Amino acid sequence: MAIIYHYCDPVAFLSIIESRSLWLGNARKMFDARVGDTVGTMLVDALIHHGAPSGAQRELATELALTLNLSRRELFTCCFSENRDDTCQWWSYADVGRGFAIGFDSDLLSPAGSVTRAPVVHDALADSARGIALSPVLYGDDATLTRHIESLKNMVAEAAGNAGSGAPDTRSLDREPGIRAAARACEWLGVMSKDPSFRHELEWRLVYVSSGETDNRTCTPCIHWRTTKYGLTSYFRYGFLPEAVREVWIGPNNSERLHPECLFGIKEHHALKLLMRTHGYERTEIIESSSRHAF
């Protein structure tokens, strides 16, 4: 079990506490419209530049690139950090210290029927097939990411081998499921990986994938929509039990902080404690940021 912290502004904090749910934002809106391109490019390059590539290897690389380009799956994510009371997190994600940091028990927050992924047993490919997971982020220079690229390369090669030596059109159809699975894993890894310059954030991500294999007449269940200043975006609501919230940290610029001259702390965090009790978070520990100075 690890305690992981979701830093947020007061509006988001109130919504999370009252609804007992997190909003997982559309990764294509949060990060890049072509999520997985970087990992997909790594895999395509691995297929092309491994030894002396044959015409078949180049053909596989071309099919993979096309499949990546045509993918319609939507991935949703919410971000956490192992760092508690961290100045950079307060500044960047919690309204310049006016917000809160919610400390979740990673075991209780994990999707039902799964286990919390630790870096040493991280299995992003299995998570991709399952479609939902809570995991530490893989950084760009992480050996685990390289291992996954090698596994994907073997997956594509195995799909090509299983296709046999029939007619070209038949071979292409036979290996399509394997190539599609590899492309999906690239998308997943694209959300679960990050540039190594951000390693200090010790980030975790809760990721959910919605299948894109639906036609325009159907509506994907459980997906909601909202407006932003940039247009429309979708999100997925992920519910949790109150027991999953172990700690609430009060930001260094938050008005809920106890005044230094408050006698005996009689009215300490009265409003916040009332909010938490009202919504069933009796066991949550309330902690003030150690910083006593405004940013």
pLDDT at 261 over 70: no
Quote the CA–CA distance of 3 and 1 in Å, as a whole number: 7
Q: Which of 226, 190, 215 is nearest to 25 (CA)?
A: 226
What percent of the chain clears pLDDT 70, i.e. is strictly above it?
81
Mean of pLDDT values over 283-291: 91
Q: Has residue 214 got a pLDDT over 50?
A: no
More confident residue, 62 or 211: 62
Name the nearest CA neighbour of 185 among 211, 149, 139. 149
Stretch among 75-84, 116-125, 250-259 having the lowest mean pLDDT: 116-125
Length of the chain measured in residues: 295
Among 36-40, 187-191, 252-256, the minimum mean pLDDT is found in 36-40
Give the CA count within 13 Å in the CB-facing half-sphere of 283: 8
Query: Tokens 């509006």 correspond to what residue?
Result: 11
SS3 sequence, 81-120?
A: ECCCCCHHHHHHHCCCCCCEEEEEEHHHHCCCCCCCCCHH
Any idea which residue has 């990546």 for tokens? 68
Most confident of 26-30, 57-61, 205-209: 205-209
The predicted model gives 140-160 an average pLDDT of 81
Q: Between residues 76 and 292, which one has the greater pLDDT?
A: 76
Listed ranges 2-6, 62-66, 169-173; the one with the highest mean pLDDT = 2-6
Decide if 240 contacts 20 (C-beta within 8 A). Answer: yes
Spatial neighbors of 61 by CB under 8 A, at least 6 apart, are 44, 47, 48, 53
With a cut of 90, say whether residue 126 has pLDDT above it.
Answer: no
Triad 221, 223, 225: Cα angle to 5°: 140
Q: What's the whole-model pTM score?
A: 0.86
Instruction: Answer yes or no: is pLDDT of 115 > 70.
Output: no
Give the pLDDT of residue 112.
72
pLDDT in tens, 215-233: 444 445 588 999 988 889 9
Per-domain boundaries in the chain: 3-288
33-65: per-residue pLDDT in tens?
Answer: 777 778 888 888 888 876 555 677 788 888 888
Q: What pLDDT is recorded for position 131?
A: 87
- Is pLDDT above 80 for 213? no
| Mean of pLDDT over the chain | 83
> Looking at 56-65, 148-157, 163-172, 249-258, which range is the least confident one?
163-172
Using CA atoms, how far apart are residues 76 and 31, in angstroms rounded to an integer?
11
Q: Give dist(CA 149, CA 136) in Å, integer.
A: 17
Q: Tokens 């390369």 belong to which residue?
A: 153
Per-residue exposure over 229-252, b if at least 16 CB sit within 10 Å of its own CB, e if not: eeeeebbbebebeeebbbbbbbbb
The stretches of the chain forming alpha helices (DSSP H) are: 10-19, 27-30, 37-49, 55-70, 87-93, 106-109, 124-130, 143-162, 168-192, 270-278
Q: Is 224 helix (H, G, I), strand (E, B) or coil?
A: strand
pLDDT for 199 equals: 92
Structure confidence at residue 246 (pLDDT): 98
pLDDT at 295: 53
